Amino acid sequence: MSFSPNNVAIPNATGIEITDDTLMVDLLDGRSVSVPLEWYPRLLYASRQERQHWRFIGNGEGIHWPDLDEDVSVEALILGRPSGETSQSLRTWLEQRNT
């Protein structure tokens, strides 16, 4: 487990499941966190194959999708923080995917 700036224990992720509209993350303490894919536009626009190609960062402190250049921290999920990507950055990324 890692610790946030407020000294609240943040459990590591132990597994994930991704549907067409939801990211679900299982946590070491037995909880599961579920958020809409709309929070992470790169995941929303990704193919099923791209969404399934992921790895844990650290010991489960986050999740990385190498094909999408996307990282999601467990802390952000627990605290309800969606992606901070700007609309311009997303637009550029989408344009590069279509070329």
Q: Where are the domains of the chain?
A: 2-97
Query: What's the pLDDT band for 5 if we cut at 50, 70, 90?
Result: low
In a 10 Å sphere around its CB, with 0-12 CB exposed, 13-18 middle and 19+ buried, how is residue 33 labelled?
middle
Give me the pLDDT at residue 98, please.
79
Examine the pLDDT at 65 and tell me if it is beyond 80: yes
Examine the pLDDT at 76 and tell me if it is beyond 80: yes
Query: What's the pLDDT band for 59 if we cut at 50, 70, 90?
Result: very high
Give me the pLDDT at residue 53, please.
97
Q: What is the mean pLDDT of the chain?
A: 92
Give me the pLDDT at residue 61, please.
96
Identify whether the C-beta of residue 43 lies closer than 8 Å to the C-beta of residue 53. no
Looking at domain 2-97, does it have CATH number 3.20.20.30?
A: no
- The mean pLDDT of 25-33, rounded to a whole number, is 96
Give me the pLDDT at residue 33, please.
96
How far, CA to CA in Å, does 81 sit from each of 3, 35, 76, 84, 99? 17, 10, 5, 8, 31
Cβ within 8 Å of residue 30, ≥6 positions away: none
